[in-house]
């Protein structure tokens, strides 16, 4: 892709995201523009990797850009270009036909790709599918609060999911379901590429499915939470999913998640105030 095209695309994505944040749900668009947007993007051909090892398993064959095979750190511009290209590819993905035909949006990821901290969730729900942005529903609002109390905001970290499309629920008007093992395996190369581009200093895995997506079947979130794991040499802190905290309002469960976040702040050498240290302690 040319850098002009990239700059334009990034500016358009930012503009649309900022409109969405202010509550805009629909925009007028000329039929010609829509047709142009639907055309394939002019870009350089990237090498195909037929199969890759992931935690001892072979991940489904996926086209990956050259950056994925390079161990060299990427410049800020290379990161932007690689992420834009990856986003474009994900937006057109048809690998899971039923998810592609039922989704309203591909929910690629949001935030700062130069961040030191990344959050990984499970899959978009109905709100995220409608908005095209991860963690914007009730669980997302709680996550946003946690991120703010940590001293960051959504624009300073990066948030993504194991699955980029909402798991379909045929015959049901509402409700969510856990992604299948096949769906996770199929979609995982996008998340792997996001992690390799961002190279965060820490990842927070939100809930059992995020942990399963990254590490395969493990001891489970109840046992793993609070204990550092490693994914491609990046420290990963498994913690409860915010939706769990919405279902289980006990202060002691909130405190556990908060202790996990304190560990993350320590790992990132972030200053921690007394107020931050003591959240949820009184009633715990």
Question: Contact positions toward ligand URA, by CB under 6 A?
Answer: 121-125, 128, 134-135, 137, 139-140, 161
The H or E element containing residue 229 is strand 229-231
Tell me the closest approach of the beta carbon of residue 210 to ligand URA, in angstroms. Answer: 7
Q: In this structure, are residues 136 and 221 in contact, taking their beta carbons and an 8 Å threshold?
A: no
CB of 198 to ligand URA, least distance (A): 17
Q: Which residue is nearest to ligand URA (CB)?
A: 121
Round to whole Å and give the CA distance between 112 and 155: 6
Angle between helices 181-198 and 76-91 (to 10 degrees): 160
Minimum CB–partner distance for residue 126 and ligand URA (Å): 9
Provide CB contacts within 8 A for 172, sequence distance 6+: none
Which CB sits closer to ligand URA, 116 or 133?
A: 133
Min separation Cβ 93 and ligand URA, Å: 17
Q: Kindly give the pairing relationship between strand 229-231 and strand 110-111.
A: unpaired
> How many residues make up the chain in this entry?
284
**Cβ-count burial 145-172 (b if 16+ within 10 Å, e if not):** ebbeebebebebbbbbbbbbbbbbeeee
Shortest spacing between CB 229 and ligand URA, in angstroms: 18
How far is residue 56's CA from residue 194's CA, in Å, rounded to a whole number?
20
- With H, G, I as helix, E, B as strand and everything else as coil, classify residue 100: helix
User: Cα–Cα distances in Å, from 78 out to 4, 42, 69, 223?
Assistant: 14, 17, 14, 39
Cβ-based nearer residue to ligand URA, 128 or 259: 128
Cα distance between the two ends of the chain: 54
Q: Which is nearer to ligand URA, 81 or 147 (CB)?
A: 147
To the nearest whole angstrom, how small is the minimum distance from the Cβ of residue 236 to ligand URA? Answer: 16
Residue among 13 and 49 whose Cβ is closer to ligand URA = 13
Beta strands in the chain (DSSP E): 48-49, 52-54, 57-59, 62-63, 110-111, 117-121, 158-161, 202-206, 229-231, 234-239
Rounded least distance, CB 277 to ligand URA, Å: 28
Q: Closer to ligand URA at the Cβ: 65 or 245? A: 245
* Identity of the residue, 127 or 253, whose beta carbon is nearer to ligand URA in the bound complex: 127
- CB-wise, 80 or 128, nearer to ligand URA? 128
């Amino acid at each position: 892709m040319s850098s002009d095209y990239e700059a334009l695309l990034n500016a358009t994505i930012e503009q649309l995201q900022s409109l969405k944040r202010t509550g805009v749900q629909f925009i007028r668009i000329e039929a010609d523009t829509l047709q142009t947007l639907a055309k394939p993007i002019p870009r350089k051909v990237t090498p195909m990797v037929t199969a890759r090892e992931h935690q001892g398993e072979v991940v489904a064959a996926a086209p990956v850009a050259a950056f994925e095979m390079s161990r060299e750190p990427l410049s800020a511009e290379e990161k932007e270009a690689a992420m834009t290209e990856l986003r474009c590819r994900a937006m057109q993905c048809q690998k899971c036909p039923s998810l592609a035909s039922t989704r309203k949006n591909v929910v690629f990821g949001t935030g700062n790709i130069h961040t030191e901290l990344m959050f990984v969730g499970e899959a978009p729900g109905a709100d995220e599918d409608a908005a095209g942005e991860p963690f914007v529903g009730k669980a997302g609002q709680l996550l946003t609060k946690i991120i703010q109390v940590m001293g960051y905001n959504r624009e300073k970290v990066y948030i993504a999911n194991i699955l980029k499309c909402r798991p379909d629920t045929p015959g049901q008007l509402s409700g969510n379901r856990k992604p299948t093992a096949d769906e996770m395996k199929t979609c995982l190369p996008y998340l792997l590429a996001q992690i390799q581009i961002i190279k965060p200093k820490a990842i927070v895995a939100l809930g059992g499915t995020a942990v399963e997506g990254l590490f395969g079947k493990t001891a489970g979130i109840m046992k793993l939470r609070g204990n550092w794991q490693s994914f491609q040499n990046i420290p990963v802190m498994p913690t409860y999913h915010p939706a769990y905290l919405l279902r289980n309002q006990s202060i002691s469960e909130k405190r556990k998640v908060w202790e996990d976040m304190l560990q993350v702040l320590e790992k990132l050498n972030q200053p921690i105030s007394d107020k931050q240290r003591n959240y949820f302690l009184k009633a715990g």
